[in-house]
Amino acid sequence: MKVSPVPVENVYISGFFEKYMETNRNKNIPQLLNLFEKYGTIDNFRICAGLKKGEITRRLATDSDLYKWMEAVAWDTQNKDNQENIDKLDELICLISKAQEKSGYIDTYYTGAYKNLRLKNFENSHELYCGGHLIQSAIAHYRSTGKTNFIDIAIKWADYICKLYESKKIKETDGHPEVEMALVELYRTTGNKKYLNLAGILLSKPYVHLGNKSFLEFNEITGHAVRMMYLLSGATDYYAETRNPQYWEKIKCLFDDLKMHKYYVTGGIGARYQGETFGFKYELPNLMAYCETCASISLMMWLYRMFLVEPSSEYFDLFENTLYNAFLASVSLEGASYFYVNPLASLGNHERKQWYSTTCCPPNFQRFLAQLPGYFYTAGENEIWVNLYDRNCATIVLPDGNNININMKTDYPWNGKVLVEIMPEKNKMITIKFRIPHWSENTLIKIGKNQTKVDCGCYWKIDINKKTCIEINFDVKSCFYSANPAIESCRNCLAIKKGPIVYCLESIDNNFDVFNFFYIPYQNLKENLSDILGGIMTISGYGMLNKKRLPLYQAGFQNYDFVKTTFLAIPYYAWSNRGKSSMIVWVPVYFK
């Protein structure tokens, strides 16, 4: 890799995302554990371990949900010491150890009467998928605590799977990619190359739910959105270690397809309910957008891996867009409930839930948010990349032992002013690179009395060898955005963005039918910092409301009865927090 991650524990966030991380720690994580107890997720392991009698709750891949929850707790211990959570982790690790068979196999679904189905239905079994989450959770625990009791379980499982492939007893790959990136990370952690080799073997096999092709045979982003993103994450990890040029060529080809044709303005991905899949090029319906929460998370996982290989701003531009919109919208502001799907329009029939029969999204959200500080900075030989902006303090240790202390003060994303104090411990020249988002067309950087306007959509760099204070002023004014006219559902429509934040109209704020409203273009939008919805910036302006009931079809043009009225827009991530309501992101344009 060209750049390296910065440990989660080295970055402390105290701004916009602090409340989300505190809620995640104090409410989301404990609540989900209680739900795992209520719905039998943990009892499954107790039954397998012989500690309890009863029937297994057979929800496919439910083991992975607990592993993701454990990973969330492991990462979060780097943000804040929590001995109670560590003790609970150790308790669960002990339980998993007892449930694991001597061979190394563990999957609570395929026990009892289902034991004879093991390793026979890779298209749908999720056995390797669950094992991949086991590995990732164990690595997070090892890196956060230094303990080996969990990673020993993961290694035992991985060794068992490796032997089965070496002996040709298994020839297929899992229908749900995930284990590939876990195996590469296990190789990085242990140095045992057999895990990297197995990842390569899996990538060379056909993936049934993604077109029955091996990775290098794909020519477009297709199939189940989460599976495709996990596959791309694993392939990018594999390339980072092997430098096989065929992989990078394919990865870049698929990224180009995504950025040009197949993601929403919110950063969500996955257009179709049927199969939770990508659609054709420009197939991005708003009302029926699927945009699974896990898809936005897995997209950010892939983008981050691409950046580590090729540190380009376009990856973190899309990462940030997804983070503030599709990702944040998936959880309620009070933290108790989640969206599984994240549409860009709603007739008032969407609401978040605490529990789903398929519970992949809540623990996935929790583990990603717990890792968030680790995405803010990356480091090279004598370089530091500043990728995201929020009030934080960080200590970054460069390979030569030079500790770089960073203190960032800002009210981002509501305000574009960012004050950064950089304090190297050694008087050695280092390069600091700041991401200038593509949407900030008039970014000003001030150092002392010198002020410079810099280009957007790139990293602006400065060389320093002493304490340096930098003031960045991003252009976060709100404005209208249009879509490629090939996107049928957005044609002749506008959306509003302020910096990285996408806005929407919600019926609770507007005394009219939001689906019968038209934006007036070329107006100055008004911003107002409001204390509603946990403290947000609202945006208001003018539009035209049709008061006439129109026929379904009519000869010539429809005859509207327009009246001018005001509108109030709120951040998309904050919608559906005040009861069910209609919502729309893309609003048609009023043409005189």
Is residue 11 very low, low, confident or very high in pLDDT (cuts 50, 70, 90)? very high
Cβ-contact 529, 537 below 8 angstroms = yes
Instruction: Give CA torsion, residues 277, 267, 138, 105, to 10 deg.
Output: 0
What's the mean pLDDT in 41-47? 97
Whole-number pLDDT of residue 591: 85
The pair of structure tokens assigned to 60 is 């496919």
Per-residue pLDDT tens digits for 158-206: 999 999 999 999 999 999 999 999 999 999 999 999 999 999 999 999 9
Mean pLDDT over 478-494 rounds to 97
What does the DSSP assignment read for 95-141?
HHHHHS-TTS---GGGSGGGGGGTTS-TTT--HHHHHHHHHHHHHHH
Run of H or E residues at 47: helix 41-48
Between residues 112 and 394, the one the model is more confident about: 394
**Cα–Cα distance, 583 to 419 (Å, whole number):** 36
Answer yes or no: are the C-beta atoms of 304 and 355 closer than 8 Å. Answer: no
The pLDDT-based confidence of 84 (bands split at 50, 70, 90) is confident
Q: What gap in Å lies between CA 230 and CA 492, rounded to an integer? A: 34
pLDDT of amino acid 1: 61
**How sure is the predictor about 85, in pLDDT bands with cuts at 50, 70 and 90?**
confident
* pLDDT score recorded for residue 82: 80
Q: Which of the following CATH numbers is that of domain 4-375: 3.90.550, 3.40.50, 1.50.10, 1.10.287? A: 1.50.10
Band (236; pLDDT cuts 50, 70, 90): very high
383-473 has the same fold as 4-375: no
- Checking if the pLDDT of 303 tops 90, the result is yes
What is the pLDDT at residue 54? 93
Whether 81 has a pLDDT exceeding 90, the answer reads no
The pLDDT score that the predictor gives to residue 241 is: 98
Instruction: Note if the bond before 413 is cis, omega within 30 degrees.
Output: yes
Calculate the alpha carbon distances from 87 to 23, 41, 90, 342, 492 in Å: 20, 19, 5, 35, 56
Round to whole Å and give the CA distance between 269 and 265.
10
**Identity of the amino acid at 442:** N
What DSSP string runs through 151-207?
HHHHHHHHHHHHHHHHTTS-----SS--HHHHHHHHHHHH--HHHHHHHHHHHTS-B
- Position 336 scores a pLDDT of 87
Q: Please tell me the distance from the alpha carbon of residue 370 to that of residue 72, in angstroms, as a whole number.
A: 6
Where are the chain's structural domains? 4-375, 383-473, 478-588
Distance in angstroms (rounded) separating the CA atoms of residues 213 and 335? 39
Cα distances (angstroms) measured from residue 382 to each of 200, 385, 404: 32, 10, 10
- CA pair distance 376, 418, nearest whole angstrom: 14
Q: What is the pLDDT averaged over residues 297-301?
A: 98
Task: Kindly report the average pLDDT of the chain as a whole number.
Answer: 96
CATH 1.10.287.370 for domain 383-473: no
* 562: enclosing H helix or E strand: strand 562-571
Distances from the Cα of 65 to the Cα of 35, 128, 181, angstroms: 11, 14, 17
Q: Give 511-563 pLDDT, tens digit per residue.
A: 999 999 999 999 999 999 999 999 999 999 999 999 999 999 999 988 899 99
**Alpha-carbon distance 585 to 503, whole Å?**
7
**In the predicted structure, residue 289 carries a pLDDT above the cut 70:** yes
Pick the closest to residue 286 from 256, 317, 265 (CA basis).
265
What percent of the chain has pLDDT above 90? 96
